[in-house]
Amino acid sequence: MVLDQVNGLPVHVLVLHAAVIFVPLLALGAIVYGFAASLRPRIGWAVALLAVVAPVAALITKLSGTEFYNRLLSEQRVSDKGKEILDGHMSNGTTTFWLALALGVLSLILVVLTSRKSAALPKLADLGFAVVLLILGGVTVWYLYQTGDSGATAVWGTY
């Protein structure tokens, strides 16, 4: 499959860095966009772009990770402890993808609702979006960290 290997290297180890870069950038951009209404005209395009790119990067990373995991299992290259760690890693990666997707969709909704100069949300709705983006962004980055940590443990541990 396309997401399995490139020149003998697992695609997962090549693409995971895109998620590691774009997901936190989306979280930061969404939070700034939510709380700093005066910056919205200048950063709206970047938040909208990240709202698409970050979830796509997370999805490709997740799918390529599944391919890599299946290859490791089929080649019986994983101990029982290693499989346990990888199962946790995959669970965290799936959660990270869904959170990144939710953050991207919510960010896009806010950008669309506030993109016109005449479009102003009621203050309570504006604050509500900002708080939800703050919480969702924080949780998304936390899961991204957990995913990376468990992946690093699986690679660098002696299992």
Task: Note the pLDDT of residue 117.
Answer: 72
Which of 32, 19, 48 lies closest to 137, judged by CA? 32
Per DSSP, the residues of 7-55 read TTEEHHHHHHHHHHHHHHHHHHHHHHHHH-GGGHHHHHHHHHHHHHHHH
Beta bridge partners of residue 6, listed in sequence order: 9
Rounded alpha-carbon distances, angstroms, from residue 28 to 22, 43, 136, 141: 10, 11, 11, 10
% of the chain residues with pLDDT over 90: 79
Q: Encoding tokens for residue 67? A: 């391919």
Neighbours of 59 (CB within 10 A): 15
Task: Note the pLDDT of residue 134.
Answer: 98
The pTM score is 0.92
How high does pLDDT run on average in the chain? 93
User: Could you report the per-residue pLDDT of 35-91, keeping only the tens digit for each?
Assistant: 999 999 999 999 999 999 999 999 999 999 999 999 998 998 888 888 999 999 999
Q: Note whether 64 and 11 are within 8 A (CB).
A: yes
Q: Note whether 64 and 90 are within 8 A (CB).
A: no
User: Could you report the per-residue pLDDT of 89-147, keeping only the tens digit for each?
Assistant: 999 999 999 999 999 999 999 999 998 876 778 999 999 999 999 999 999 999 999 99
Report the b/e string of 77-105 with b at 16+ CB within 10 A: ebeeebeebbebbbebbbbbbebbbebbe
For residue 4, which phi and psi values (nearest 5 degrees)? Answer: -90, -65
Q: Note whether 95 and 143 are within 8 A (CB).
A: yes
What's the CA gap between 39 and 32, in Å, rounded?
8
